[in-house]
């Protein structure tokens, strides 16, 4: 099926869960998952030593005739990139590579781009294929071939048009709303789905969705102009139902399908003593019992918690509500009204 036409309503997502490393020395520097929100920062990135990766992937096609790639759908970035035949590194050699000479609709102005993600950085050349939709090309990070960013173009270097905006401008999407269901049931074939053009109400419980409308952010503050939605409403954090001093002066939170780094290893015999984590947003309690943020693989238990040290543009602490959170909540991204919604997943 030709992805560029975006004729399908939903994309079935594949889950990849791999233990990257076992017990290790945790004093070594680790990468910060919030680095990708600051595209100009391309410093040295360190690989975590205790890391359980859980990603949601789907297949797209680029070019004429189509060339297929397995990508990570990421609401925390805006660039669509896949590896190119011009990349000769070992990392690229293990993945399908886009051949621009094999596509009759490909063009490029030679503009260089660079991008940073939580687990590494990359650089390449902007290319355009099928109705001017950008497809950036260079090396991938690991098991998937590339990343399709779903955030606003403000995160893209040079603010080039994004793949999602290209679909909207071409009139190929009847709705400016898309949503994710990232289920926890690995035995179900429908455990994860990305839905364009609206909401599937069978995938959530209740109708009271979180996320009041947010005014369009000013152009001088591109960090706020994100589809992953900075929630400006009151935000509090509770542990075991008890209030904490964290976020007592307010926080901002990012709903990010591309963040899944897990770095905290613990004794599996003590997991039943873990408390429930609760996020209080707009007076709505969103709770995560311990089994929601605990992952076990080959007898190893890892918590889906990682520190980030980059503040938001307002100076308030920045929280990233990634895959660990989104497995419990059906997430809705409303581009037209600049808002995000969450409801308990079915």
**Per residue of the chain (346 residues), what is the pLDDT tens digit?**
223 322 223 444 554 433 333 333 223 334 555 555 554 432 222 222 122 345 667 778 888 888 888 888 888 888 888 888 888 877 788 888 899 899 898 888 788 777 666 556 677 888 887 643 434 433 333 467 888 888 877 766 666 677 888 777 777 777 788 888 876 655 555 567 888 777 888 888 865 454 543 334 333 323 333 323 333 444 566 666 666 666 666 667 777 777 765 556 677 887 888 888 888 777 777 888 888 888 777 777 877 777 666 666 666 667 778 878 888 888 888 877 778 888 888 8
Question: 333: Cβ–Cβ under 8 A, 6 or more apart, which residues?
Answer: 75, 150, 177, 178, 179, 180, 227, 228, 229, 255, 340, 341
Tokens linked to 137: 């090309």
- CA distance linking residue 129 with residue 28, whole number of Å: 42
Reported as type and span, the H/E element at residue 166 is helix 163-169
3-169 and 200-344 share one fold: yes
Residue 155 main-chain phi, psi, to 5 deg? -80, -20
The answer to whether residue 129 is catalytic is: no
Q: Are 277 and 288 in contact (CB under 8 A)?
A: yes
The answer to whether residue 256 is catalytic is: yes
Question: 292: Cβ–Cβ under 8 A, 6 or more apart, which residues?
Answer: 184, 324, 327, 328
- pLDDT for 163 equals 80
- pLDDT for 310 equals 65
Tokens linked to 24: 């290790």
**Cα first-last separation, the chain:** 29
- pLDDT for 136 equals 41
- pLDDT for 297 equals 73
Sheet holding 294-297, edge to edge: 264-266, 300-303, 294-297
Domain 3-169 has CATH 3.30.420.40: no
Q: Which alpha helices (DSSP H) does 16-74 contain, by range?
A: none
Which entry of 53, 74, 129, 334 is annotated as an active-site residue? 74
Output helix, strand, coil percentages for the chain, rounded to the nearest 5.
Answer: 15, 35, 50
Which entry of 32, 53, 129, 256 is annotated as an active-site residue? 256
200-344: CATH number: 2.40.70.10
- pLDDT for 307 equals 66
Dihedral angle sign, alpha carbons of residues 214, 217, 222, 227: positive
Could you state, in order of their start, the residue ranges of all structural domains in the chain? 3-169, 200-344
Reported as type and span, the H/E element at residue 93 is helix 90-93
Q: Return the closest-CA partner of residue 333 out of 2, 82, 73, 34.
A: 73
Tell me the DSSP string of 245-276. STTTT--EEEE-TT-----EEE-GGGGGGPPP
């Amino acid at each position: 099926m030709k992805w560029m036409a975006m004729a399908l309503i939903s994309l079935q997502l594949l889950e990849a869960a791999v233990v990257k490393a076992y017990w290790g020395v945790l004093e070594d520097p680790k990468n910060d998952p919030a680095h990708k929100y600051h595209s100009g920062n391309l410093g040295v990135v360190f690989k975590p030593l205790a890391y359980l990766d859980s990603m949601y992937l789907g297949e797209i096609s680029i070019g004429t005739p189509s060339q297929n790639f397995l990508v990570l759908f990421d609401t925390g970035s805006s660039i669509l990139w896949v590896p190119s035949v011009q990349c000769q590194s070992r990392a690229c050699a293990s993945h399908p590579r886009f051949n621009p000479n094999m596509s009759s609709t490909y063009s490029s102005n030679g503009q260089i781009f660079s991008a940073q993600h939580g687990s590494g950085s990359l650089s390449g050349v902007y290319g355009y294929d099928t109705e001017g939709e950008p497809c950036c090309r260079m090396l991938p990070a690991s098991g998937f071939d590339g990343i399709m960013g779903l955030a606003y173009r403000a995160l893209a270097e040079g603010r080039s048009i994004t793949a999602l905006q290209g679909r909207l401008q071409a009139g190929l999407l009847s709705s400016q709303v898309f949503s994710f269901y990232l289920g926890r049931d690995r035995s179900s074939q429908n455990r994860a789905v990305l839905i364009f053009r609206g909401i599937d109400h069978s995938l959530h419980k209740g109708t009271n969705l979180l996320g009041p409308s947010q005014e369009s952010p000013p152009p001088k503050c591109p960090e706020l102009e994100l589809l992953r939605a900075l929630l400006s409403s009151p935000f509090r954090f509770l542990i075991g139902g008890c209030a904490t001093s964290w976020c007592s002066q307010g926080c901002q939170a990012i709903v990010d399908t591309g963040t899944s780094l897990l770095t905290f290893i613990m004794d599996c015999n003590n997991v039943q003593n873990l408390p429930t984590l609760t996020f209080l947003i707009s007076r709505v309690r969103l709770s995560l019992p311990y089994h929601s943020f605990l992952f076990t693989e080959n007898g190893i238990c890892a918590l889906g918690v990682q520190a980030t040290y980059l503040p938001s543009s307002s100076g308030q602490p920045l929280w990233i509500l990634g895959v660990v959170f989104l497995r419990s909540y059906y997430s809705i991204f409303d581009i037209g009204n600049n808002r995000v919604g969450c409801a308990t997943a079915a």
